[in-house]
Structure 1
Amino acid sequence: METYIAFLRAINVGGRTVKMDRLRELFTGLGLEGVRTYIQSGNVFFRTAETDRAALAARIEAGLADGLGYPVPVMLRTVEEVEALLALDPFAAVEPAEDKRLCVLFLSEPLPDEVAAALPVASPKGDWELVGATADAAFVVMYVRNGRLNGNPATAFPKSYRGQATSRFFHTTAKIAAAARKG
């Protein structure tokens, strides 16, 4: 049995409020085992013997769409994959500051080659900088302006990119991995 972390996009933002017990119910209803949630932003841990990750993600997305009435993109990672991502220390060269937030974008499809080759990429307004990437994640420094985070690093991706992404603060990602590991 593999333990997965499902990073869900658009949960408890933009008026799409979902209680965590409802998410656990939906995942359990799909036959997944040991279902747990972490904070209110759409992080679900579960175990399964299924080995086809794409089929599993599609099944979860269909179940969530049926149960919630709207699409919820799902990025699945194993605990080991998230721990390996953290071990890369992608923000080691970033000088800490009060106006910076370090984020991981979990990607459903690989980052386009033309974006990866052009890194680092900054927004024209200076509200974010895409500083690195792996095949299934991008690392972004977001800048707080007027007390808010603005901008969308996904605008660095070409219009031909058909994948989805969901972001988590880097420090939250570490807490998610630790909580999932506790199982």
Structure 2
Amino acid sequence: MNRYAALLRGIAPSNPSMSNAKVRGVFEGLGFEGVASVVASGNIVFRAPDGEIDELESRIQAALNRELGIPGGTIVRSHGELRALLDSDPFPGLTHGRGTYLIATFVKDSAGVTVREPEVEDPRTRVVGYDEAARAFLAIVDNSEEGKTPNFMAWLERTYGKNITTRTWLTVQRIVKKMES
């Protein structure tokens, strides 16, 4: 059995159909073990037999759609991938906060992904890089202006489509901690 994290896109915790308990129930119904939620925004950790990530993503997404009407956006990463990402320390000396909003944007299918810098300068964002093993863009965002989405986030979706999902670095740390407990 391997440990995995499902990073779900489009989860609205206020929607009763998308409660942590119901989402966990879908994972348990698929026969996964050690199913647990991390934060109320679509992060589920679980154990499953070793297999292909894309097969896990497809099974989970089909079940979420069929049972809860959740339309899309399941990205799965193994414990090893996420642990290695944390251990790489891409944000040395920084802590997550308003002026240093540390983010990781995970790409579902990196096949054919050409990593490139954003075309438009965004004074509120500094791209740190792309972690190939975790298939994640890493950036530091000044998120002090409420209600304004950085150009970088819009650029990511325009460039890579909706098969991406972003988590704060703090959430990634919490996911890995839950996977290890």
Instruction: Provide TM-score, normalisation by structure 2.
Output: 0.83
Secondary structure at the counterpart of residue 11 of structure 1:
coil
The unaligned stretches of length 5 or more in structure 1 are none
Name the CA distance, whole Å, in 2 between partners of 1:144 and 1:160.
21
Pair 1:157–1:175, CA change in 2 (3 A): closer
Identical counterparts, % of pairs = 26
Alignment size in residue pairs: 177
Paired with 2:5 and 2:96, the residues of 1 have a C-alpha distance of 28
After TM superposition, list the pairs within 5 Å mapping 1:34-53 onto structure 2: 34-53=34-53
Are the aligned partners of 2:45 and 2:175 in contact in 1 as well (CA < 8 Å)? Answer: no
State which of 126, 130, 155 in structure 1 corresponds to 2:127.
130
Aligned 8 A contact 2:96 2:170 in 1: no
2:19 is aligned with 1:19: yes
Q: Alpha carbons of 1:158 and 1:41: their partners in 2 closer, same or farther (altered >3 Å)?
A: closer
**Whole-Å separation in 2 of the counterparts to 1:160 and 1:101:** 21
1:118-157 equivalent positions in 2, closer than 5 A? 118=117, 121=118, 123-135=120-132, 136-148=135-147, 150-151=149-150, 153-157=152-156
* Counterpart residue number, 1:167: 166
Residue 77 of structure 1: how far off its partner (Å):
1.0
The whole-number CA distance in structure 2 between the counterparts of 1:81 and 1:142 is 23
Which residue of structure 1 lines up, in the alignment, with residue 58 of structure 2? 58
RMSD (CA atoms): 2.7
Is the 2:96–2:169 contact (alpha carbons within 8 Å) kept by the matching residues of 1? no
Whichever structure has more strand as a proportion of its residues is 1
Q: TM-score, normalised by structure 1?
A: 0.82
> Secondary structure at 2:90's aligned position in 1?
coil
Query: In structure 1, what is the Cα distance between the partners aligned to 2:95 and 2:24?
Result: 38
